[in-house]
């Protein structure tokens, strides 16, 4: 009897649950279907509220200037996912963050969009034989960059801000002193002071107005940079048309450039910039300088891609030799002479055959590459005097928050015996 009673009781509960489930399912079928469909296939996102959470010393007002959406905006799910990816890349351009995430919380009136950011490692470093640079990309919490060069041959300070609080533009200044051997022959000592006012035209373009003064001195020798020419000091000053008392240059200019959005996406990255400047020299010469560049990177497949960098520099009138276009962008410059007009192009083939190695606070990636640089000093024919350099090696990339590519390899020239060891430290894979 007892066993029959227990089995009947179990049967009663099973049937009762079944009928209750059917009743609830049919009663709320419409709402249930909407819930299931909304969870699996959300057709649109309506921004009802935007919340910014920042961990670290980063001003929320700075982040707000670069947010691409606002209350009341509606997006399809596909458009919203694309916009989120783009927004994350844009914020990573503004400052180096450890992480940037965007997610939605449902509200009765739509979705609350939460932008969560964790402040990253803001310091950058650079060096050259006798000097070291230390820079902070967020010195005072509102995206202000502050950099110092300290060493025997270079001492300088630079400061720049995207925008000041309660002021719709940013500004910066630079002050520096440097000694180097120009063209591998004469010594030039540079004194520089400059200032700029800049405005980010939301969210992609930056406009910068600049003014500066540069003094060029030509010592016959220094204890830092030694004389390495078999020609006399007077001969070199004469040959290059340089004033032994020094040359001063006053320059004003305007630059327009795009922010390098998509720089860390796997597929495409790029940016363009144009600058127009006018200079007055103490030698009574004056001229206008046009500068333009294009950066582009594309990975058709995950493990293989290429990058292209092209720059144009054009002086409209004659200027002193020391102020002519330099060759710092050209790998293996050797005795590449300065000129009034120059086009430099770099094509680089990039491979990513190795997985990233996790180092804890960052990760490391080894990237083999080969490249070719082409330099053309333009006179009447764009193709006159083309010089080609070539080489290859490996780039060791330390990911965010460091974000530096160290390049080691070989470089050479097709027009001379100039060749040797290649070493570079860059912040972009170009």
pLDDT tens-place string over residues 227-237: 777 788 888 89
Say which CATH architecture domain 44-119 belongs to.
Roll (3.10)
The mean per-residue pLDDT over the stretch 181-185 comes to 81
Q: Please give the Cα distance from 140 to 165 (Å, whole number).
A: 11
Total-model pTM: 0.79
**What pLDDT does residue 418 have?**
79
Is residue 185 predicted with pLDDT exceeding 80?
A: yes
Burial of 243 (0-12, 13-18, 19+ CB in 10 A): middle
- 3-state SS class at 202: coil
Question: Which of 150, 152, 191, 144 is CA-nearest to residue 171?
Answer: 144
pLDDT in tens, 58-103: 988 888 888 889 898 999 988 898 888 888 888 887 888 888 999 9
Question: Which of 255, 402, 405, 239 is CA-nearest to residue 321?
Answer: 239
- 3-state SS class at 417: coil
**What pLDDT does residue 33 have?**
42
Domain range annotation of the chain? 2-37, 44-119, 128-198+211-240
Let me know: does 100 contact 84? Beta carbons within 8 Å.
no
Phi-psi domain of 102 (left: phi exceeds 0; alpha: psi -120 through 50; beta: other): beta
Report CA 151 to chain centroid distance, whole Å: 26
Q: Retrieve residue 230's tokens.
A: 């078999």
Residue, of 135 and 267, whose pLDDT is higher: 135
DSSP 64-96: HTT----TT-EEEHHHHHHHHHHHHHHHHHHS-
pLDDT in tens, 389-418: 999 999 998 876 667 788 899 999 888 887
Q: Retrieve residue 251's tokens.
A: 């320059």
H or E segment and range at residue 294: strand 286-301
DSSP 139-157: SSSSS-EEEEEEESSEEEE
Give, in order, the Cα–Cα distances in Å from 291 to each of 231, 310, 314, 344, 376: 33, 11, 7, 12, 15
């Amino acid at each position: 009897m007892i066993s029959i009673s227990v089995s009947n009781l179990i049967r009663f509960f099973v049937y009762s649950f079944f009928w209750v489930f059917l009743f609830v399912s049919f009663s709320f079928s419409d709402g249930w279907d909407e819930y299931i469909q909304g969870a699996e296939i959300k057709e649109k996102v309506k921004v009802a509220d935007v919340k910014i959470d920042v961990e670290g010393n980063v001003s929320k007002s700075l982040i707000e200037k670069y947010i691409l959406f606002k209350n009341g905006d509606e997006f399809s799910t596909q458009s919203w996912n694309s916009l989120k990816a783009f927004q994350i890349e844009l914020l990573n351009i503004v400052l180096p963050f450890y992480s940037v995430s965007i997610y939605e919380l449902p509200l009765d009136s739509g979705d609350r969009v939460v932008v969560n950011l964790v402040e990253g490692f803001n310091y950058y470093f650079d060096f050259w034989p006798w000097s070291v640079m230390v820079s902070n990309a967020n010195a005072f919490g509102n995206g202000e960059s502050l950099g110092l060069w300290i060493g025997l041959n270079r001492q300088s300070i630079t400061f720049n801000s995207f925008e000041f609080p309660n002021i719709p533009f940013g500004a910066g200044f630079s002050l520096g002193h440097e000694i180097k051997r120009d063209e591998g022959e004469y010594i030039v000592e540079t004194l520089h002071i400059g200032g700029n006012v800049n405005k980010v035209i939301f969210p992609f373009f930056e406009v910068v107005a600049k003014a500066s003064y540069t003094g060029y001195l030509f010592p016959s020798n220094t204890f830092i940079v030694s004389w390495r020419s078999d020609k006399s000091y007077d001969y070199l000053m004469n040959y290059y048309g340089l004033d032994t008392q020094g040359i001063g240059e006053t320059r004003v200019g305007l630059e327009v450039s795009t922010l390098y959005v998509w720089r860390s996406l796997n597929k495409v990255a790029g940016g363009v910039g144009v600058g127009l400047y006018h200079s007055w020299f103490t030698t009574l010469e004056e001229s206008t300088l046009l500068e333009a560049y294009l950066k582009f990177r594309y990975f058709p497949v995950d493990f293989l891609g290429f990058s292209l960098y092209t720059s144009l520099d054009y002086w409209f009138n004659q200027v002193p030799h020391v102020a002519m276009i330099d060759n710092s962008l050209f790998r293996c410059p050797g005795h590449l002479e300065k000129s009034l007009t120059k086009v430099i192009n770099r094509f680089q083939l990039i491979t990513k055959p190795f997985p990233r190695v996790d180092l804890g606070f960052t990760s490391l990636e080894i990237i083999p590459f080969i490249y070719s640089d082409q330099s053309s000093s333009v006179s009447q024919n764009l193709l006159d005097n083309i010089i080609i350099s070539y080489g290859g090696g490996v780039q060791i990339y330390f990911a965010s928050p460091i974000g530096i590519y160290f390049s080691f390899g070989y470089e050479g020239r097709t027009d001379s015996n100039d060749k040797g060891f290649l070493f570079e430290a860059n912040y972009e894979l170009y």
